[in-house]
Amino acid sequence: MQVAKATVRDGTRIAYEVHGRGKNTARIALVHSLAMDRSFWQDLSGVLEAHADVLLYDCRGHGQSEKPKGPYRVELFADDLADLLDHVGWSSAVIAGASMGGCVTLAFAAAYPARARALGLIDTTAGYHAPDKWEERATKATTAGLQSMIEFQTSRWFTDEFRAAHPEIVSRSVNTFLANDPQAYAETCRMLGACDLTAALPLMKMPTAIVVGEEDYATPISMAETLHRGIAGSTLTVLEKARHLTVLEKPERIAGELQKLIETVSAQ
C-alpha cells in the first residue's frame, strides 16, 4: 500500500496507512515502539483487519514521518494522533501502543478520553522515573552512534531463544532501528525520560488490556501492575518466554488480546 501523509497542527507531516475494507464499524489505531515504525505491526494488521479497520502510522521523528527538532513530549505525540484521526475521518477508535506507543496511548486517553474507545497497553509504563538513564541513552546515540547500541537493544527486545530461532525478525528490527535519525531518537528518549502519566490512570474508564512479557526488564511486570492497579477494570496478561517486544515475539497472543478489545467495543 502506498503511504499517505497527513499534516498535523504544527505543520509536521505524518506518514500513515489505513487497512481494511472501510465497512467495519470497529476501528483500531496502533502506535509503535521507540525507534520502530509502522511496519512493527505487519504480523498483526492482516489478522486485525478482518475485525476492524486498522490505522498504522509512523510517529513524528520516526520512519517516513517528518523529524522536526525537539523538544518532544508525549502530549505532542497524542495531539498528532488526534489530528491524524481527524484527517482519516475517525471520531474515535480503539487505541493500542507498545512501549513508547503505550505511553502515547495513555497520553491520548488522558487528553481525548471520548475518542479512545478502549486501550491496549503493551510492554509499557505510565512513567519510567529515570530521566538520567534516558539522557545517557540519548547522548550515546548522538555521540557513539546507533550501531553502538545494537547488542544492548536486541538483548532487551527478545529472549535468547527467540533471537536464535528467528534471526530474520531480529535483523528486520535492527535495520529499522539503524535507519533512525540519531537526533530525533535522542529527543524521543528525553521525552520518555520526562513522561509521567501516573496521575491520569484513575481517570481512565474505558476497557483496557495490559500485556507484558514475563522477562521484560525494560518495562517490567511491576510497571504493568502499576497500570493495572491504576486503571479500574483493566486486565493484566503476562506472556511467558517473552521480553520487551511481545508484538514481535508473540504476535498471535497480542492479536488475540486486541481482538477481544475490538469485540468488547463492538458489543457496546
**Residue 247 burial (CB count, 10 A):** 29
- Is the pLDDT confidence value at 268 over 80? no
> Could you tell me the pLDDT band of residue 1, with boundaries at 50, 70 and 90?
low
Averaged pLDDT, 251-256: 97
- Is the pLDDT confidence value at 208 over 90? yes
Q: Which domains does the chain have, with CATH numbers?
A: 4-128+196-267 (3.40.50.1820)
Averaged pLDDT, 197-214: 98
Enter the C-alpha cell of residue 82.
Answer: 488526534
> Could you tell me the pLDDT band of residue 102, with boundaries at 50, 70 and 90?
very high
- Is the pLDDT confidence value at 125 over 60? yes
Averaged pLDDT, 158-168: 97
Please answer whether residues 34 and 192 qualify as being in contact, where contact means their C-beta atoms are separated by less than 8 angstroms. Answer: yes
Per residue in 221-253, pLDDT (tens digit) is 999 999 999 999 999 999 999 999 999 999 999
What is the residue type of 93? A
Q: So what's the pLDDT on residue 179?
A: 98
Per residue in 7-27, pLDDT (tens digit) is 999 999 999 999 987 776 799
Task: Tell me the percentage of the chain whose pLDDT exceeds 90.
Answer: 94
**Matching residue, cell 513524528:** 60
Per residue in 36-75, pLDDT (tens digit) is 999 999 989 889 998 999 999 999 999 999 999 999 999 9
- Is the pLDDT confidence value at 218 over 70? yes
Q: So what's the pLDDT on residue 133?
A: 96
List the one residue out of 227, 232, 176 whose CA is nearest residue 205: 232
